[in-house]
Structures are given as structure tokens and as C-alpha cells.
Amino acid sequence: MRVSQRMRLGIEYVNVILPFILLGAVLFAIAWPFVEPAPPERFTLSTGASGGAYEQTGRRYADAFEQAGFELHIVPSAGSVENWQRLLRKEVDAALVQSGTLPEGQALQDVQAVVSIALEPLWVFYRLDTRSATADPLARLSDLSGKRIAIGAEGSGTQRLVSSLLNEVGMYGTLTQGTELVSLGGREAVEALRSGQVDAAAFVMSPDAPLMTDLLLDPNLHVLDFKRAEAIARRLPYLTAVVLHQGVVDLKKNLPQRDIHLLAASTYLAIHRETHRSIVQLLIEAAKRDQTRLSLLAEPGYFPSLSHIDLPIASEADYFFQRGPNILHRHLPFWLASLVDRLAILIIPLLAIMIPLFRVAPPALRWRVRRRIYRWYKKLRVIDADLMRSDTPMELIQQDLKLVSHFEDDVANTDVPLSYMEEFYNLRLHVAYIRERLERRLAQLEDTHGT
């Protein structure tokens, strides 16, 4: 019996909070379709040639992703052109690309930019014909007309950039006059240049790359000084005119030995439009962390940037770049902050449950417990009214006495919380008091009838 009463008390608690639980479940069901999906645990980034600067950058980003609990898979490639093809075919989730390499004739509305991370100048190294009486340094790109030029590997951003420049200065019209464009890049282009297989070679590479230092030290090679760099950059907005100051590469060896005017393309991160915003934030944070290295062309802290990009910038990238991580990401692990951030919309139904529950449930519970006590008082009041009348028949008094006896048994087997024991014991006293009055009245009636 006592266990049954406890179960009934537990049921009463459930009955109080059940409407709030059902309300919360309905609100959760309504809000759930608006909850942002979880970010993918694995993300792919197309970089560049194995061992190159793009691949090294990608590996540093992968370390940053790993610390946040995500996997960034690096996919080497031939360069920006191949990266664009992979991105548009959705073979990868993101790519490191070079400005000026946007695919022509293809819809780009499904891809967006995140941030630019570096300026990489275009270098054109050439050999002077020492047998010529006028072996003066070349002044313009058009001076290479009639030469064999290594313009970068097939599928690389270097080849696309050099082709655009040659077309801009009108050299494509002179190809039939002996100009030969050779698809070579990197170390292969250097070997071909030094062996005389080509007369000039183009590279898009950071000034502090070991290959650039090697070429600048070669006394048989010269680097083209783009005197008209500002003019070209005005005509080709995806390029930036920069100056590589004397000695900035190596002060001890004084490399370069003079100020060199160069044209620089920017390297930036491109993504699909539907990329999860948490991944966008991770890419930006990885880019910011990676910019602790010295840049020879930009002021400290200039990169990452939203400038030097020839593709629309993702709104999420602009938001995270301008405002930085929110308070959750500043104080919680990334995965936990992302989870809380995604589920923020569910706070509304949660509050709809908790606020009424905290404010209404305690009074409701008190009322239900007291109601169990007060229902006996309601019956006791009826019996007390019978006792107050002088003409109450003996049979009714006997019925009331039996009923009160049942009350005593029920009350004795009833469990109530400790906070309600005062009302409970008052009830037992009142039941005993009514029973005593009933017994006295019944004794009086029996004496009267006996007489």
C-alpha cells in the first residue's frame, strides 16, 4: 500500500511536468528543420605540386584543422588551373588558386573566395646572348619576341598568367616569327634555361623560395625588370605592381643587387558556395595563424586579406574575417563551440520549457499535494455539519464513523513530502478529533434509545 502511494505521488509529479515536456517536444520538432547541419569531419583542399609552396601551405592548414578536431585532406595538383577544374567538378571542397586564372566560359556562381593569403610575383629569368655586341638587359616582355620561353607546366597558374601577359603586349601575333612557348615549370624549366634549351623561363613564386635564391645567384641569368608594372596592373586588375628592394632576399649577398619592379598575382582560398560556415571559419583561422612568417612583399599583418581577389567573397568569410571568432569559439573547444552555435535556435523551445517549469511547476506541485490533503477536509466538513445538527439520525452517525475510520487508514498509509508534514499531521489530528466527537454523539444516541 505504501509503495502504491509513492507511485501515485511520482505520477502526480509527472502529470505536472508532462504538459511542459510535450510543449517543448513540439517546439523542438518545429525548430529542428532550421538547425544547421553539422560540419563535415573530413574536408579536401587541392593545393599544388608535391613539395611546392602550395602543398606546404596546405599541410600547415591541415595541422590547424587537426587541432580543432577536423581532418583536412591535402590533394596535390599541377597548379591553379587544375585546382579550378577540380573545384568546379566538385572533386574537392576547396582550393588554393592564383588570381588571373579564373576559367573562361564557365559558370562561377557556385564558387566563392575566402581570403587572400599571399602575393607571389611573376619572375622572368633570361640568358643574355653574350656574343651580341648589344647584350643589354631586356626592358620589356615584348623583347622576348622570337625567343623560346618556358611559360610554366601544363595546368599551372604560371602558364595562364604568362599567356595573358603575352596576349596583352601583342606577342601572340609574333609566334609565327620564331617565338616558341614551352610548357615547362619549376626545376625542369631551370635546367632547360641553364642548358640553353630555352632562352627565358617564367615562374610565379615567393621571393624567399630556395629556387629564387638559386636563380638570383646565377651570374649567367638576369631577371626582367617590369618597368611598366603599374601600367600593366591597371590593365590587368588581378595583378599587383610590387617592388623587390635591393638586398631584401639576402642582405649578406645583396640579393637582389638592385630594386626590381615585378608583377604579383595573389594566392587565395576558393570554396563551394554551400561550404559549411564552420569550415570557412577554420580556413580563416588557419590562414591567420599561418601569417606569422615573414613576407618580403607585404607589410607585417597585411595577410590574410579580403583584397587582391578576383572572385566574389563569401558572406560568411567577410563576417568571420571582420568580427573574428565569437565568445563561444574564444573560450570553448572548436567542436563544442560549433555545436552550441548550431543548436542556438533550439534555445527558444528550451526556454519555453524551462521558464514556465521553474515558475509554474513548484506551485502546481504544491497545489496537487495539498489537494490530496484538502479533499479529506472537504469530507470532514460534511461530517462536521452532520454533528452540528441535533436531529441527525443514529444511522447517519454510524455511517460517518465508519467513513472516518477509513479516513484514518488512508491517511496513515499516505506519503507526502517532508515540507507538507505540518498539514498532514494537522489532518490526522482533525480526523481523530471528528472520530471522537462521532463516538460521543453515538454513545449519547444509544443511551437515549436505551432509556
115: number of Cβ within 10 Å: 25
DSSP secondary structure letters along 400-441: HHHHHHHHHHHHHT----GGGHHHHHHHHHHHHHHHHHHHHH
Residues 150 and 240 in one domain: yes
Residues 105 and 237 in one domain: yes
Is residue 101 in a domain? yes
| Amino acid identity for residue 409 in this structure | D
Residues 314 and 389 in one domain: no
Q: What is the spatial distance between Cα 13 and Cα 372, in angstroms, rounded to a whole number?
A: 13
Q: Which three cell numbers stand for residue 77?
A: 595538383
* Planar angle of CA 260, 241, 113, nearest 5 degrees: 135
Is residue 437 in a domain? yes
Q: Are 281 and 266 in contact (CB under 8 A)?
A: no
254: number of Cβ within 10 Å: 13
Q: What is the spatial distance between Cα 212 and Cα 125, in angstroms, rounded to a whole number?
A: 10
Task: Tell me what pLDDT residue 9 has.
Answer: 55
Is residue 334 in a domain? no
Alpha helices in 49-206 (DSSP H): 53-67, 80-88, 157-168, 186-195
Residues 269 and 410 in one domain: no
Residues 187 and 295 in one domain: yes
Tell me the C-alpha to C-alpha distance, in Å, between residue 177 and each of 147, 172, 332.
9, 10, 65
pLDDT in tens, the chain (451 residues): 444 545 655 665 666 677 767 766 776 666 666 656 667 778 999 998 887 788 889 999 999 999 888 899 999 998 888 999 999 999 999 999 999 888 876 678 889 999 999 999 999 999 876 444 445 677 788 888 888 999 988 878 888 888 888 887 766 555 556 788 899 988 899 999 999 999 999 999 888 888 889 999 999 999 999 988 999 899 888 899 999 999 998 899 999 999 999 999 999 999 998 888 888 888 998 998 887 666 788 888 889 999 999 899 998 888 888 877 766 666 667 666 666 666 666 666 667 666 766 676 667 666 766 776 777 778 788 888 878 887 888 888 888 888 888 877 777 776 666 666 777 778 778 888 888 888 888 888 777 766 5
Residues 18 and 116 in one domain: no
Model-level pTM? 0.67
Q: Collect all residues with Cβ–Cβ distance below 8 Å to 57 and sequence separation of at least 6.
A: 47, 96, 117, 267, 290
Q: What is the spatial distance between Cα 152 and Cα 171, in angstroms, rounded to a whole number?
A: 17
Residues 216 and 295 in one domain: yes
**Could you say which of 324, 350, 372 is where a domain stops?**
324
Residues 177 and 227 in one domain: yes
CATH classification of the domain holding 49: 3.40.190.290
Per residue, the 3-state secondary structure of 28-71, as one string, reads HHHHHHHCCCCCCCEEEEECCCCCCHHHHHHHHHHHHHHHCCCE
SS3 166: helix
Is residue 351 in a domain? no
Is residue 29 in a domain? no
**Could you say which of 267, 300, 324 is where a domain stops?**
324
Residues 366 and 295 in one domain: no
Is residue 343 in a domain? no
Q: Of 201, 146, 204, which Cα lies nearest the Cα of 176?
A: 146
Residues 387 and 246 in one domain: no
**Could you say which of 281, 309, 324 is where a domain stops?**
324
Is residue 350 in a domain? no
Residues 117 and 176 in one domain: yes
Task: Tell me what pLDDT residue 131 has.
Answer: 40
Q: What is the spatial distance between Cα 187 and Cα 181, in angstroms, rounded to a whole number?
A: 17
Task: Tell me what pLDDT residue 50 has.
Answer: 82
Residues spanned by the domain of 185: 42-324
Which residues, in sequence order, are bridge partners of residue 42? 71
Q: What is the spatial distance between Cα 270 and Cα 312, in angstroms, rounded to a whole number?
A: 10
Task: Tell me what pLDDT residue 132 has.
Answer: 43
Number of domains present in the structure of the chain:
2
Q: How far apart are the first and last CA of the chain?
A: 44
SS3 171: coil
Q: Are 393 and 444 in contact (CB under 8 A)?
A: no
Residues 278 and 413 in one domain: no
Is residue 348 in a domain? no
Task: Tell me what pLDDT residue 298 has.
Answer: 82
